[in-house]
Structure 1
């Protein structure tokens, strides 16, 4: 394939990831072009092609871009090969039951994270900070931060720097604040998010380690801050850690089956 062809594919993927990160809100052409470091005409040309293939849809009223139905269909076709959600579901459910709060399964996708699943505990006030399918910059939220904790310092710096301009959309987060939170989380032994995009909610998380390379998933728990004393943060982290270690064994067995 010619270099120009591979470059176009790369640009299209960057645009798709940006559109996915906005969810149902959709994305404006100018914002997408800026994110992908493209001129608006170039971004529009690529998007027009993606719309023609039903990979991207454009809202008739707002003219914002959203993921098209072909993405959903392709996801259904790929699901049997990537059954991480199915394998993790019992662990995620137990975490929610034992804590009484909301448990999230977060997966890495390049320099982003995706919420793959969510289970609600019995406590009546829910911390529903993420919907399934939500994309955010890697490092945002306890799950995203947990995925960074197992990486080398230079890799963490590279990822945080690459996401720097996007952090401000999440509770006025910035590189110095996130770097401080990562350092504190390393000392604690689990990711602690107590000052990001959802006021009144605190979350903790741990990565699901991968024996073949960097972790690709994490489990986090979010609760209203009045339920998240320092002592309870440790208790929840211990519950998550217990499930994560058991889960790592099951994933290793599934990979070698």
Structure 2
């Protein structure tokens, strides 16, 4: 330790590191919550040594924030997270407002539909509905965060922010996109943004899953800021013009119904 560092300063630094590790583990478990998270995967993603990760996770288990399946030993979010989430829910609950519409779109298209909201420099999947098409495209798990310049729904939000905000987000997210998404191209993102502004929606290919295409529309608040997006994802070869037109029609109709209700709810707050 640096001799000039006082004991209180060192303690604060150590405490901050623990908080960062806890938050990183919770985010990683959340992203894998459907199937559960293995300890080895959590250690790799969060870059924490196995004994340290295990000790933190067991502490979270004891507090009800994480649960561990006795058979598979995989980790899942605990009931306390749900209870805390209810308390922290915004007064305008976007998931409740959009859920029925997502189900209708999934039923009409047969494909997987996602609801994404903005959280700082990230997009967060907060809901998903599955259509009847047998090949499921699970680009996102509910609760997963990705940079705002990754994924159709996030890009639909990013595209309709003001230019200065777009530049700030692209700059801040540049390093982690290059590190975590080898196929990421900022030049391609800029093209997608330009096309989205001309069309009013995003059409993009997934950077993580080759052969997957997404159509996404933004949802705006009363100040005309994009706060969420609805997207339909399916196999690229399935997304021909007829299916694209169907997805566009379904999402447009849903947002036409969602938008007035959202504005009314915001005015009521």
Under a length normalisation based on structure 1, what TM-score does the superposition of the two structures give? 0.74
Shift of 1:15: 1.6
Deviations 1:105-125 (A, max 9, x none): 2233453522413153xx655
Shift of 1:204: 0.5
Q: Give the Cα–Cα distance (whole angstroms) in 1 for the partners of residues 22 and 57 of structure 2.
A: 8
Q: Give the Cα–Cα distance (whole angstroms) in 1 for the partners of residues 258 and 159 of structure 2.
A: 18
SS at match of 2:214: strand
Q: Which residue of 1 aligns with 2:144?
A: 135
Q: Which residue of 2 aligns with 1:223?
A: 234
Name the CA shift for 1:131/1:148 in 2 (closer, same or farther; >3 Å).
closer
Q: Which residue of 2 aligns with 1:157?
A: 171
Name the CA shift for 1:49/1:164 in 2 (closer, same or farther; >3 Å).
farther
Q: Contact 2:66–2:78 at 8 Å: present in 1 too?
A: yes
What pairs with 1:160-199 in structure 2 (closer than 5 Å)?
A: 160-168=174-182, 174-176=183-185, 179-188=187-196, 189=199, 190-198=201-209
Question: Is 1:49 matched up with 2:63?
Answer: no
Q: Contact 1:207–1:215 at 8 Å: present in 2 too?
A: yes
Q: Which residue of 2 aligns with 1:116?
A: 127
SS at match of 1:175: coil
Shift of 1:207: 1.9
Name the CA shift for 1:98/1:162 in 2 (closer, same or farther; >3 Å).
same
Shift of 1:26: 0.5
Shift of 1:255: 1.7
Unaligned runs of 5+ in 1: 169-173
How many equivalent pairs are there? 247
Q: Give the Cα–Cα distance (whole angstroms) in 2 for the partners of residues 180 and 66 of structure 1.
A: 35
Q: Contact 2:130–2:136 at 8 Å: present in 1 too?
A: no
Question: Is 1:16 matched up with 2:26?
Answer: yes
Q: Contact 2:211–2:235 at 8 Å: present in 1 too?
A: yes
Q: Give the Cα–Cα distance (whole angstroms) in 1 for the partners of residues 151 and 130 of structure 2.
A: 17
Question: Is 1:66 matched up with 2:76?
Answer: yes
Q: Which residue of 2 aligns with 1:87?
A: 97
- Find the structure with the greater CA-based Rg: 2
Q: Give the Cα–Cα distance (whole angstroms) in 2 for the partners of residues 153 and 114 of structure 1.
A: 23
Q: Which residue of 2 aligns with 1:247?
A: 258
Give the alignment's Cα RMSD to 1 decimal. Answer: 3.6
Q: Which sits farther off after the overlay, 106-115 or 215-224?
A: 106-115
